[in-house]
Amino acid sequence: MTHVERVPARPARYAEWPSWADPRVVERFQALGIERPWAHQALAANLLHEHRHVVLATGTASGKSLGYLLPLLTDLIDDVSADTTATRAPRRATALYLAPTKALAADQARRIRELRLPIAPAACLDGDTTPEERRWIRDYGVFALSNPDMVHYALLPDHRRWSPFLRRLRYVVIDECHAYRGVLGSHVAAVLRRLRRICAHYGADPVFALASATTADPETTAARLTGLPVRAVTEDGSPHGRVMFALWEPPLTERRGEGGAPTRRSAIAEAAGLLADLVRDEVRTVAFVRSRRGAELVSLIARQQLGQTSAEAWGDNTQKVAITAHGHPETRTMAEAGIAPESGIASKSKLGSGTGTGIGAETEHETEAGNGARIGAQTAPVLHSRIAAYRAGYLREDRRALEADLLSGRLLGVAATNALELGVDLSGLDAVLLVGYPGTRSSVWQQAGRAGRSGRDALAVLIARDDPLDTYLVHHPEALFGKSVESTVLNPNNPYVLWSHLCAAAAELPLAEQDLDLFGPTAPALAAELGQAGWLRARPGGWYWTRPERAADLTDLRGSGGTPVRIVEAETGRLLGQVDAAAAHTTVHQGAVYLHQGANYVVDSLDLDGAIAVVHGEEPGYTTHARDVSQLRITTEERTETWGAHIRLAFGAVEVTNQVVGYLRRDAATGSVLDEEPLDLPSRTLATKAVWWTISPGALAHAELAAPDIPGAAHAAEHAAIGLLPLFAECDRWDIGGLSTACHVDTGLPTVFVHDGLPGGGGFAERGYEQARAWLSATRAAIAACECPVGCPSCVQSPKCGNGNQPLDKTGAIRLLGVLLDEL
C-alpha cells in the first residue's frame, strides 16, 4: 500500500422546491422520498427554467437527473384542463434525451414512466423502435429517449416527418456527455449543430441540459460539444460518508518478461485476493475490472480462495463463463492471472497473511469445515457462492437480479466491468476495488462513489496495473486527489469528421453561408472543397446535396474510418467480431493469434480488399506481436514555443506512414521470443496531429548523453510520455502513437513525436502541447519512481511498441527529460 487518503464526509446542502415547479411533479418526487432538492439540483433547475444552457458536473448518485427533470416535466405535463386519459392530449412542449448507450436511455425511460405523471409515456427511439412506434412519437410523443447515432441516421434526415415533434422541442438532455470525446466527440458536436439548425428552421429554440461526470473543465467541454455558452453547476450538495482511499502497488515477482525485465504480480490476482478477504469479513464489495475476461477471472479466483473446491469452480463456470468454454481453462486463466497453478496456494497464503485475515488454501478450508463448518454455519449460502461476475452483454433481468441480491446482502462480492456504471443502479456497497486506473479521474470518482451506503464510511482501493500511468498514480497521490488537470478533449473542427456532416446537413436543408458559421471556422473552406470535388453543388440558395445516395450514410459516428475487417471462423462461417481498419494490420495479419471472449484463434488469411480475416480456433501456446516501421513527415507547424536556448516544442499537422513488416512469436507463459516471421502488407498513411519536441546537440552534451545513447533515451521517453498523456487528456494510450529519432529529416535534430491515432486528430496531442510542462514532469517522475533496474512495463516498456521495445535506455530517458525540464 503506497498511500492512504482520507476523504472527509460531505454534509448535505438542501434548497427549497422552486415556486414555478408543477406541484404534481414535486409531489411525485416527494412520494419517492425526496423531501427537498439538494442545492445543485435546484440551481440547475432554476437556470434551465430561465432558458440558460447548463452542464451538471457533480458526483455519482448526486441525482443529476432531478436537476433537469424538474423544469422539463413541469413544461411537458399536460394542462389540468386537458383530457389526461387520452394519449392524444395536445402537446405543449417536447423533450429529447440522448444517452451514449441504448441501455441507459431505456433505464431512464422506465424511471420516468414510474413517476406516473399525466404525460404521454416516455418512449425510446432506437434501432429496435418499430415504424408504428416512431410514428406515434412523432405525432403524439412528448419525451423521446434516444442516442446521437439515431439523431444522425433517422431523425435529422427525416426531419420533415419529425416536424410536429421538433417544432415543440423545448429541452435537449445530453446525459453522460463526458463519453463524447476524441473523434466520437467531434461527430456528436456536428450532429448537435445539425439538430440546432433544423430546430431553428421550425422555429424551436431548445435549451440544452448536459450531465457529466466531474472533470477539470466541464463548461468548456459542454460549450465545444454544443457550440453554445453553457453554465456549469459543480458544487455538489449531496451528502457522502467518509471514504478511506488506498493506493496499492502489486509487488515485483521473480518472473521475467520482455528483455529480462521483472514483472509485477498481476492486478487481477491482487484484486481477487482483496475481494476474497473483504467478502470473508462480510464487506459488500464491487471490484471494477477493465476487461470482461478480467472480471470473470477476479470472480473465479476469489471464489476459489474462499474455499470452493477446484472441481466445483471450474465445473460451475464452464456453464456460466465464456472464458472457460474452450481449451484448458486452468492453465490459461491461472497463467494470465500471474500465478501458475501450482503456486496458487502459496500466493493465496501470502495475501492472507499480508492483510492479517484469510484462510488461504483450500486444505485449510476443508479442515475448518470439518471442525464444525465455521464458514457454512455463519453464512448460508456458503461464501464462495456469494461472489459473482458481471459484465456487458448480460440480460436486463440478470442485472436486476444482481442489483437486488447486492442490496439484500445475499451477494457480497461482484467483479464487474464498467458496464455496471451504465446499466445497473448500485447502492448498498461498503467497498470498491478499482483494478487498474479506469482511464479518467472522473471514472475513478464515479466508481469509488459507489461505496458508502446511506452515508456510512466506505473503502476504496486503486490497484495499479503494470503500466507507467498506474505506477505514477500510486506514487503521486496528489495527481488523483489534488486539483484535476485532465479534461475531456474534443475537436469540433476536425475536417475529417466535419465533411460528411456538411454533406448530411446540406441534404437536410440547403446550406446557406450563414449556416456555415454554425459549423465553425473551417466550414466555409471545407464546403468549397466539397463543391470542387463534386460532393456538394453551389446554387443561389447555398450548397445542395444532389447525389443519389443518402448523405447520412457517409459516416458512422462510432467508426474510425475505413471498412472494419470482419473476423470469420473458417470451419463454421461464424462471424466472431470485427476490428477497425486501422488496427487490422497489427491485430489480424496472417498468423496472428487473436483473442476472442477468452478463446484463442489463429488467423489463416487476411483479405484486405474483402475486409475479411479467416481464423480457426487453436491454443498455440504463443502470442504474436506485430513489428512495424513508421515514418513521419511534418506537414505544417501550427503552434511553437521555445524553452530556453535548447528546446523547441511544436504542435501541428503530420503524416505518419506505417507498414507492418512482420511479427514476433512469444512463448505465452514466459514471454520469451520464439522467432520472427516476415509479412507482406502495404503501407498506410495517416494524416493527423502531433506534438513534438527537439533538443539541441549542446544540451545533450551537457547532459552527458553521447550519440549512441540518444535513440534509446528518446524511445524510452516517448513510450512513457504516451503512457502519461491520458492523465492530462481523456484518452487511452491506444488512441495515440509516437515516434522518436536521433535525427529527424524535417527538424535535423533529435526529436520525439506523440501523435493522435485517427485521421484529423482527436485533440489529444494538442492538449499535450498545452500541458507540456506538467505532462513531461510527470513522465520523468513516473520513470524515476520505478524500482526496476533497466526498464519494465511499469515505466518505459510499451505493449504496443512496433519495434519490440528496442532500444530502450531508462536512465538516458530520465536525463533527457531532465534537460528539457531544466530549461523551464
Residues in contact with Zn ion by CB under 5 A are 786, 788, 792, 794-795, 801, 803
CA Rg, the chain, in Å? 28
* For Zn ion, the closer CB: 367 or 803: 803
The answer to whether the beta carbons of residues 724 and 791 sit under 8 Å apart is: no
The nearest distance, CB 227 to Zn ion, in angstroms, is 38
Which residues sit opposite 431 in a β-bridge?
Answer: 285, 459
Query: What would the grid cell of residue 320 be?
Result: 456460466
Q: For strand 575-579 and strand 565-569, is the pairing parallel, antiparallel, or unpaired? A: antiparallel
Q: Where are the alpha helices (DSSP H) in 36-154?
A: 39-49, 64-76, 102-114, 131-140, 148-150
* For Zn ion, the closer CB: 7 or 252: 252
* For Zn ion, the closer CB: 236 or 467: 467
The reply to whether omega before 807 is within 30° of 0 (cis) is yes
* For Zn ion, the closer CB: 510 or 807: 807
The nearest distance, CB 728 to Zn ion, in angstroms, is 21
DSSP 820: H
What is the DSSP secondary-structure string of 489-514? ---TT-HHHHHHHHHHHHHHS-B-HH
* For Zn ion, the closer CB: 153 or 472: 472
The nearest distance, CB 778 to Zn ion, in angstroms, is 15
Q: Which DSSP helix (H) or strand (E) runs through 252?
A: strand 252-256
How far out from the chain centre does Cα 283 lie? Answer: 28
The Cα 817–Cα 346 span in angstroms is 41
Determine the residue type at 358: G
* For Zn ion, the closer CB: 415 or 817: 817
* For Zn ion, the closer CB: 292 or 780: 780
The nearest distance, CB 761 to Zn ion, in angstroms, is 21
The nearest distance, CB 809 to Zn ion, in angstroms, is 12
The Cα 131–Cα 147 span in angstroms is 17
The Cα 503–Cα 581 span in angstroms is 23
The Cα 46–Cα 157 span in angstroms is 34
The nearest distance, CB 619 to Zn ion, in angstroms, is 29
* For Zn ion, the closer CB: 125 or 473: 473
The nearest distance, CB 752 to Zn ion, in angstroms, is 11
* For Zn ion, the closer CB: 471 or 688: 471
* For Zn ion, the closer CB: 308 or 794: 794
Angle between helices 131-140 and 159-167 (to 10 degrees): 40
CA distances to 53, 231, 621, 708 from 172, in Å: 10, 15, 52, 59
* For Zn ion, the closer CB: 598 or 723: 723
Number of Cβ within a 10 Å radius of residue 240: 23
The nearest distance, CB 717 to Zn ion, in angstroms, is 11
Give the closest residue to 716 by CA, choosing from 619, 783, 632. Answer: 783
* For Zn ion, the closer CB: 104 or 626: 626
The nearest distance, CB 494 to Zn ion, in angstroms, is 26
**How many degrees, rounded to 5, is the angle at CA 459 between CA 241 and CA 290?**
120
Name the residue with cell 486527489: 481
Exposure string (b/e) for 761-772, b if CB count within 10 Å is 16 or more?
Answer: bbbbbbbbbbbb
Determine the residue type at 155: L
The nearest distance, CB 798 to Zn ion, in angstroms, is 5
The nearest distance, CB 76 to Zn ion, in angstroms, is 55
Number of Cβ within a 10 Å radius of residue 326: 18
The nearest distance, CB 578 to Zn ion, in angstroms, is 27
The Cα 796–Cα 120 span in angstroms is 58
